[in-house]
Amino acid sequence: MAERPTALVTGASRGVGEAVARALAPTHRLILGGRDRTRLEKLAAELPEARAWPVELTAVTERDVAGVDLLDVLVHSAGTVRLGRVADTPAQVWRDTMEVNVVAVAELTRLLLPALRAAGGHVVCVNSGSGQRANPGWASYAASKFALRAFADALRLEEPSLRVTTVYPGRVDTDMQRSVREQEGGPYEPEKYLQAETVARAIVAAVTAGPDAHLTELTLRPRSGPVS
């Protein structure tokens, strides 16, 4: 019996990352990446052929990925957001946002490229509506997501043996969205947002598309509620 394909999901301890892990669990062996060891280990215990990979994504080294020789799917779901107008956003916020949302993604992908090439793998970057349109108060986050889009586009061209998909969800009912709404000073209205499971199903659709198909971009928006 052939082994299941292997998927590494970052941000797997909650939100979209956790939903993606659960959606891939019936068909994939899972490496669950993130900082919250307790939550990752709890999730790994619930899923077949899953293991926790507690790590600080902004400080990943070759040692951290040692032993990952064949990787079929890499889902970048971890991210951070700090809102603020340009006039009120200090340099450190820009640096921190870029470090998590772009640099960590690029470095982890670079380290795992041999394993991805060996499998003819698939890289999925969970982007945002902010990666397609910048709004007032969102400059640092939108800039990081525009950069993430450029990273994925370049990777797709540089690595023709891989499939690379960028997913642009609108607002999703997650802990991060609660933080965003607190920063915006508005009410939290989950009925107006996408569900994390919905985004996960779209990602699974891209990952499980036939070998002749390459879903390069997917855009999801709530049927009602805010567009961004």
CATH value of 6-220 in 1.10.10.10, 3.40.50.1000, 3.40.50.720, 3.20.20.70:
3.40.50.720
> In sequence order, which residues have a C-beta less than 8 Å from that of residue 198 and are 6 or more positions away?
220
Task: Give Cα separations from 189 to 56, 82, 111, 195 (angstroms).
Answer: 31, 20, 39, 12
Closest Cα to residue 33, out of 5, 65, 3, 4? Answer: 65
Q: What is the pLDDT of residue 2?
A: 64
Tens-place pLDDT, residues 18-56: 999 999 999 999 999 999 999 999 999 999 999 999 999
Q: Is 188 a catalytic residue?
A: no
pTM of the full predicted structure? 0.95
Mean pLDDT of 123-135: 96
Task: Output phi, psi for 7, to 5 deg.
Answer: -125, 135
Q: Which listed residue (141, 168, 188, 193) is catalytic?
A: 141
The domain locations on the chain are: 6-220
Q: What is the pLDDT of residue 227?
A: 55
Token pair, residue 16, equals: 């979209």
How far is C-alpha 119 from the geometric centre of its chain's CA atoms?
20
